[in-house]
Structure 1
C-alpha cells in the first residue's frame, strides 16, 4: 500500500517570517528541513509527502519548490500567492512548476477571516486558480466554518481541501463538530485532511484516544473517498511526547478495509493533487 503524508512543512526559521510561532512553541524555532523528517517517514513507511506553505510569501513558495526538486520524497507543493493581486496571472506564470499543485492562505490569522473569505478580489483569485486546476486548501478554525461553507459553495469548479478538520473546538465534542462541518462535507468537491487534532487546545484530562470520535465523524460524513492522512509535521511535535499523528490515525482506521485504508493513506491524495505514480523501492522513503 502506497503511503502519502498529505500535509507537512519545512522552513528556515526567522521570527519575522513565521510570526505565528509563539514563545511557547520553542521546538519549532529552528530550521526544520528534509534530513530532519526523513527518519520519521521511514519509521512510518511513508513514501511521499505534500509540502505545504507556512508563511504568506511568494519567496517561500519558490524556496519550497527548489527544496522539493532536491528531495525525492516530496511529490507536490501547496504554495502561497497574493490572490487579490491585479497581476495574479503574471505571478502564477512566474512561479509555475511541475510540482506546484495548490495554494493556501492562513485565513485563521486574518483580523477578520469572514471578511477575507467574502472579499471579491480574493474570490476572483480563487476562480482563477480553479480555472488553472490548482487545488485550494482552506485553513480556518471552527469559528468560521459557516463562512467556509459559503466560500466553498462559490468555488466548485475544482478541488477544495479543508485543513486540520477545520480546527474543531474540542471542548464542545465530536457531535458538535460533525454538525458544524456537515454542510461542507455535503459538497462533493471538498475533501478533508485528517491532521492537526493533536495540537488543538484540549479540555483538561482529554487524551489522544478521546480524539477518535472526530475521526469516526469524519468517516461518516466525508466517506473514505474524501479523507487524507496528514501529519502536520513539524507542528505535531508540539503534542505530548507519547502522542503522534501516525499512531492516532492508524488507531482510527484500524477496522477499515485494506482498500479504504489505502485511499486515506495515499490514493485520495494522489487523485486530488494529481501525483505521479511512485516508484517504491527499499531506499525511496
Structure 2
C-alpha cells in the first residue's frame, strides 16, 4: 500500500489563483480527481491526502466534497480562519466530516513572525480537541517561528511541508540545516518529502542535487516521521509524477518504504487502516 500525503485539486480561476501566473501555463487549468486517479494507479499509489491551495472555507468544502465522491482521497487538509473569534465553531462544523484530517494556512505568504501572533496561536490551540493536525507551510527563513510554535504546543501534531522550501540549486544552507535539526527535536513534528523539484532554478534539476537535503531530513526526523508527498499538480512545473516519486523511491532504503510511503501517513493523519 502507498499513499501520497500531499497533492492539490482546483478548478482554475485566474483571479482567485493569481499565484499561478503566466509563467506557469502547464498548471493554469483544472486539476480534478479524474485527472489524478489514473496517475496514482500507474505509479502503484493507492490513495492521497488532498491539501488546500486557497484560503477559504469554500476550498475546504470543495475538497471534502471531492473526498466524499472519490474513495481514493483518504483525507483532507483544509482551511479555516485560525485567527477568527469563531474558530472553534468553524472547526466543529467542518469536523463533522470524518474526511477532515488537518488544517493549513499559507504562512509562506505572511511575515516571518506570523506564527507567533496570539490570535493565530489561539486557533492552533483549538485543533487538538477535534483530532486535527496542522501542516506547516513556510520558507526556510520562517523556520525559527515554526520552532517556537511547536515548542509551545507539544501535544499538537505538526508536519512540515516541502522541507521548508530550501533553494535546492544553491546547495545546502547551514542555517536551514540547523533549523531543521532543531525542529526535528520536537517529537510532535513530522516532515513531508515533497515540493523539492519546484525549488530549483528554472525548474531544472538532477537527482543528486536533492541528496544533501534528503540526508539532513532523514538523519533529523528518522524513518518514522517522514511522509512521501508529490505536490501534484504543482510538481508538473518541473517534473512528471513518475520523476517525483522516483527521487524518493531511489533515496529511501527499501526496508523503510512501507513506513515513508504508507504507514507514517496513516499514523499522522489518523487514517482508517482498512484502506
Tell me the TM-score normalized by structure 1: 0.91
Q: Secondary structure at the match of 2:135?
A: strand
Match of 1:268? Answer: 264
Structure 1: distance between partners of 2:241 and 2:135? 29
| Higher relative contact order structure (alpha carbons within 8 Å, sequence separation ≥ 6) | 1
The answer for unaligned runs of 5 or more in structure 2 is: none
CA RMSD across the alignment: 1.8
Structure 2: distance between partners of 1:67 and 1:217? 35
Structure 1: distance between partners of 2:135 and 2:257? 22
Structure 2: distance between partners of 1:143 and 1:171? 17
> Given the alignment, which residue of 144, 152, 155 partners 1:146?
144
| CA deviation after TM superposition for structure 1 residue 16, in Å | 2.1
Match of 1:99? Answer: 99
Match of 1:282? Answer: none
Verify the 8 A CA contact 1:162 1:191 in the aligned structure 2. Answer: yes
| CA deviation after TM superposition for structure 1 residue 60, in Å | 0.8
| CA deviation after TM superposition for structure 1 residue 261, in Å | 1.2
Q: Secondary structure at the match of 1:200?
A: coil
Aligned pair in 2 of structure 1 residues 27, 185: CA closer, same or farther (>3 Å)? same
Aligned pair in 2 of structure 1 residues 94, 139: CA closer, same or farther (>3 Å)? same
| CA deviation after TM superposition for structure 1 residue 24, in Å | 0.8
* CA deviation profile, 1:202-259 (whole Å, cap 9, x unmatched): 3897523321221122111100000000000000101146972111111111x341xx
Verify the 8 A CA contact 1:171 1:203 in the aligned structure 2. Answer: no
Structure 1: distance between partners of 2:190 and 2:171? 21
Where has structure 1 moved over 4 Å in runs of 4 or more?
Answer: 203-206, 240-243
Aligned pair in 2 of structure 1 residues 203, 25: CA closer, same or farther (>3 Å)? closer
Note if 1:169 corresponds to 2:181. Answer: no
Match of 1:283? Answer: none
Comparing 96-105 with 165-174, greater Cα deviation is found at 165-174
| CA deviation after TM superposition for structure 1 residue 113, in Å | 3.4
